Amino acid sequence: MEIRDRYAPSPTGLQHIGGLRTALFNYLFAKSQNGKFILRLEDTDRSRFDSSYVDNLYASFEWLGFHWDEGPDIGGPFGPYVQSERFELYKKYAKTLIENGRAYYCFCSSERLDVLRKEREAAHSSESGYDRLCRDIPPDEAAARAANELYTIRLKIPLGEKTVFNDVLLGDIEWQNDDVSPDPVLIKSDGFPTYHLANVVDDHLMKISHVLRAQEWLSSTPLHVIMYRAFGWDPPLFCHLPMVMGQDGKKLSKRHGATSIDEFRKNGFLPEALINYIALLGASYEEGKVLYSLDELRVRFSLDKLNKAPAIFDYKKLEWFNAQYIKVKPDGELAVLALPYAVRAGLFGAVGLEPAPEQRVLFTAAMSLIKERVVFLSEIPGKLGYLFAEPSVPDVAEFIPKKSNLVEALRFLKIGRGLVAAMAGLDDAGAECLVKDLAEKENVKLGDLLAPLRVAITGSRVSPPLFGSIRLLGGQCCAARIDRAIKKLTE
């Protein structure tokens, strides 16, 4: 059997963490089995459909770096892969169910159904859903009425029976048909199919072998299995993935923090970090190892490594993953990734201004200073401002080391002023050796000597490594900044 699974989002919102986890697990399962991963757009909800969400889907997965084997943008042998382009198919198969006695025309208006609902509420009735009023209309009479009256097509749920199916993760599941939605609509009065009909027909015609989806869809599966059997088709193998929860134990939502892929991207996450972390939500691979490339995940993924329990989304843990991936990025690649954030932040003179060639060289060289110290790409511009513009001279108190005084701070600056030209030509080890020797000679603590020097050169007590900063700025620039600081402290 060829493994064929799919990601079938409804383009009614931005791509989010739950959707990414479903898409990623389907992709990894298909690739681990040399199968096919399919994208299908389930756009039957036309009231909430927006083409911008389709654009967002494509942009999100282009950024994430994994793609489907068949889909709306690349085609395939079972297209079209957009449900709104397949409506005639759904009508055809719904009519087939009517002919087989497994579905029927319903002529109940929305007004009647609303009255029915209100009457039940007033009577505190435990009954819900459709009352099957049209179920037993003789087929010939129903067909004649359908030629002139507005209708829907409803599925005949077999009464007094139960539906049993196997879930790869959860095992055998038994569901009483009386607990399934009573005779649900397959074709709406406007001729549009419902999600359930389109989903089943498409999965069958596209030869989907496995349906991997979130456990929130588990309650829909008995209905789908009933539909498969009504058509006389074998259902695919189902695997309902564990839910993704916030740390409060509730379904992950915006109240917990960022959930859309766009938000994570704008906040400065790397796609590798997001994929690696998401791949661990509800699955385990190898004891003692947590960092995996996409290629490694393709090889290691299997359904028997999935967990039944809900997965907890930990933002701090995701941040740790992001920091690890930033650390190992080559400087040139990291600079390219961080550059859009720097341009938006106005690092090169004005918001939106692209760097001049010499600024681009400096920006790339600066990556080695900060890559061990940042969590997000978006942090990088804020840490490098002093390299591209002379910082304002801080308050005098900022220059004075603990348990020291203004006179000592001035002394330390003057000592450092005499070193920066030599330090600019040395690597970290050489610069440190030079400063240590002088500190010992002057009977000064190394930290006390360097603290006011850092403030003068970078404008802050906390900055990227001082020795590297001196090399990038050059001895002349650093000396000028120290002179400014000495002047302020003297005044």
CATH number for the domain spanning 430: value is 1.10.10.350
Please determine, for residue 247, whether its predicted confidence score (pLDDT) is greater than 90: no
Q: Is residue 120 part of a domain?
A: yes
Question: For residue 297, how far is the Cα from the chain centroid?
Answer: 17
pLDDT of amino acid 154: 98
Q: Please answer whether residues 375 and 322 qualify as being in contact, where contact means their C-beta atoms are separated by less than 8 angstroms.
A: yes
- In this structure, the answer to whether residues 134 and 163 fall within a common structural domain is yes
- In this structure, the answer to whether residues 381 and 338 fall within a common structural domain is yes
Q: Please answer whether residues 3 and 38 qualify as being in contact, where contact means their C-beta atoms are separated by less than 8 angstroms.
A: no
Question: In this structure, are strands 244-245 and 185-187 parallel, antiparallel, or unpaired?
Answer: unpaired
What average pLDDT does range 473-481 have in this prediction?
Answer: 96
Q: Please answer whether residues 485 and 455 qualify as being in contact, where contact means their C-beta atoms are separated by less than 8 angstroms.
A: yes
What average pLDDT does range 244-272 have in this prediction?
Answer: 85
Please determine, for residue 258, whether its predicted confidence score (pLDDT) is greater than 70: no
What average pLDDT does range 145-164 have in this prediction?
Answer: 96
- In this structure, the answer to whether residues 379 and 418 fall within a common structural domain is no
- Tell me the three state secondary structure of residue 48: coil
Cis peptide before 465 (omega within 30 of 0): no
- In this structure, the answer to whether residues 273 and 374 fall within a common structural domain is no
pLDDT band at 50 (very low <50, low <70, confident <90, very high): confident
Whole-number Å distance between alpha carbons of 244 and 253: 10
| Mean pLDDT across the chain | 94
pLDDT of amino acid 28: 98
Chosen domain end from 289, 308, 327: 327
Q: Is residue 105 part of a domain?
A: yes
pLDDT of amino acid 48: 83
pLDDT band at 254 (very low <50, low <70, confident <90, very high): low
> How many angstroms separate the first and last alpha carbons of the chain?
83
Q: Tokens 């599966």, residue?
A: 221
Q: Which of 465, 476, 475, 478 is nearest to 365 (CA)?
A: 465
> Cβ–Cβ contacts within 10 Å for residue 211, how many?
22
Q: Which of 379, 286, 285 is nearest to 326 (CA)?
A: 379
Q: What is the pTM of this model?
A: 0.92
DSSP code per residue over 415-450: HHHTTHHHHTTS-HHHHHHHHHHHHHHTT--HHHHH
**pLDDT tens digit sequence for 100-138:** 999 999 999 999 999 999 999 898 888 889 999 999 999
Q: What angle do CA 217, 49, 84 make, to 5 degrees?
A: 80
Residue span of the structural domain in which 335 resides: 331-388
- In this structure, the answer to whether residues 321 and 340 fall within a common structural domain is no
**Which run of H or of E encompasses 152?**
strand 152-155
Whole-number Å distance between alpha carbons of 35 and 462: 52
Q: Is residue 286 part of a domain?
A: yes
**Which residues carry out catalysis?**
254
Chosen domain end from 197, 218, 241: 241
- In this structure, the answer to whether residues 94 and 225 fall within a common structural domain is yes
DSSP code per residue over 72-110: TTTB-TT---BGGG-HHHHHHHHHHHHHTTSEEEE---H
- In this structure, the answer to whether residues 416 and 472 fall within a common structural domain is yes
User: Which has more confidence, 123 or 211?
Assistant: 211
- In this structure, the answer to whether residues 175 and 220 fall within a common structural domain is yes
User: Which has more confidence, 43 or 153?
Assistant: 153
**pLDDT tens digit sequence for 405-442:** 999 999 999 999 999 999 999 999 999 999 999 999 98
What average pLDDT does range 218-243 have in this prediction?
Answer: 97
Residue at 128: amino acid letter: S
Residue at 462: amino acid letter: V
- In this structure, the answer to whether residues 165 and 194 fall within a common structural domain is yes
- Tell me the three state secondary structure of residue 155: strand
Q: How many domains are contained in the chain?
A: 4
- In this structure, the answer to whether residues 339 and 307 fall within a common structural domain is no
pLDDT of amino acid 460: 95
- In this structure, the answer to whether residues 229 and 335 fall within a common structural domain is no
pLDDT of amino acid 259: 85
**pLDDT tens digit sequence for 310-341:** 999 999 999 999 999 999 999 999 999 999 99
